Amino acid sequence: MISYLEFEKPVAKLEARIAELRTAADGDDVDISKELERLEVKSADLLASTYASLTPWQKAQVARHPSRPHFTDFVDLIFDDFIPLGGDRNFGDDEAILGGFARLDGRKVVLIGHEKGNDTESRIRHNFGMGKPEGYRKAIRLMQLAGRFNLPVVTLVDTSGAFPGIEAEERGQAEAIARSTEACLALPTPMVATIVGEGGSGGAVALASAERVLMLEHAVYSVISPEGCASILWRTAEKAPDAAEAMRITAQHLKKLGVIDRIVKEPVGGAHRDPAAVAQNLGKAIGQELDALAKLSSDEVRRMREERFLQIGVS
């Protein structure tokens, strides 16, 4: 069952009407197929027009949709032979950040990403995708393994930000994020990062400092959440829609600014309506990027990575 967002209520009413007609038509001799077809076309058109003109705040809501596919969903839909590796060899394991070895259409890769969970129990276990220091240190360890075995790195970013708790700060959250970002930039092998949902603050940058950064069509990427920005600037989270507009958090804005390199198309109505379709698009896009980068030497990859970040914001 689809969970509708506030701005999708007109679509929800139409689809509810279609469901009622289908139920009423069961075992009835009256032919309502034409009426059903008319309503289905109207619903599809309304959904398409709604998603063609989403505001940045509405895109943020889509990026946070509870049914949106997360890391483990993409592992099942895109990758083969995933071998998870846990622990930072220092404190413990962080289930907000997962990673290990995998294959993408036969290509061997090191795969790392945030996992938010898909129900109450798993969301608590994965800490809603908010990584702790041991999670980022695990990512560093995996990137070092990638360099040692000459494997490309693929990251799937989906976090509202790194975990802000006192215990995380005590274990060196800022230092872990900085060193993870450094590990990305120093990686001797190709790296392709994709923002698949939320890309929040340094918690996202620590896994997204790649030479090729992709972004799903309705994902968002920002230095702070719209609510956080609104609370600072206007002292109220009610201004979050204004903050989202001002911060240019959408894939379309960020592509123009040069922050990301490529937008991966989602099905009409968002990735949560057809995870298999968006996974197919994403797998194809990542594969194309990896094939193009495979031709480059380690020095060329690092230089390309450095140049793309130095060019951000340069007119």
pLDDT digits (tens, 9 = 90+) for 212-254: 999 999 999 999 999 999 999 999 989 999 999 999 999 999 9
Specify the pLDDT at position 23. Answer: 76
49 and 269 Cβ atoms separated by less than 8 Å: no
For range 248-270, the mean pLDDT: 94
Task: Give the containing element (helix H, strand E) for 182.
Answer: helix 173-186
Specify the pLDDT at position 77. Answer: 96
Distances (CA, A) of 156 to 51, 86, 256: 23, 17, 21
Q: CA-CA distance, 171 to 87, in Å (whole number)?
A: 15
pLDDT digits (tens, 9 = 90+) for 59-86: 999 999 999 999 999 999 999 999 999 9
Of how many residues is the chain composed?
A: 315
The Cα angle at residue 102 between residues 197 and 87, in degrees rounded to 5? 80
